[in-house]
Amino acid sequence: MASKTSKININVDTKIKEEATAILKDLGLNMSTFINMALIQVVKRNGVPFEIVNPTPSKELLEALAEADEMINNPQKYPRYKNWDDLKESLLSDD
């Protein structure tokens, strides 16, 4: 017995659709096949088949951003160099 099919009409960003279509084509898939595969996985897993999270910046990134803000807001605390040689000399000095 043949299974029944239903249509799904969705609106997606044109650029995203074009990029996804190209990637799927390289994988030997079309959009309809991929969406069917994804929906089958939703049913089998009883949920979304991939992790959905808000990206959280790492502690190191947050520290680097805070340091950059400090340098921008208080430039007088940080040395300035007129050329590469001055910077190189400062980096190589024992001070």
State the chain's mean pLDDT as an integer. 93
Is 72 within 8 Å of 66 (Cβ atoms)?
Answer: no
Supply the pLDDT for residue 49: 93
Q: Other C-beta atoms within 10 Å of 70: how many?
A: 12
Give alpha helix (H) positions in 27-81: 31-45, 59-73
- In this prediction the pTM is 0.54
- The tens digit of pLDDT for each residue in 1-14 reads 667 889 999 999 99
For residue 87, name the pLDDT band (cuts at 50, 70, 90). very high
> Is-contact 64 70, C-beta < 8 A?
no
* Confidence check: pLDDT of 95 > 70: no
The proportion of the chain whose per-residue pLDDT surpasses 70, expressed as a percent, equals 97
**Helix (H) or strand (E) run with residue 20 in it:** helix 14-26
pLDDT at residue 3 in the model: 78
pLDDT over 80 (residue 28): yes
Q: What is the mean pLDDT of residues 65-93?
A: 93
The gap from C-alpha 70 to its chain's centroid, in whole angstroms, comes to 27
Instruction: Give which of 13, 27, 1 is closest to 37, Cα–Cα.
Output: 27
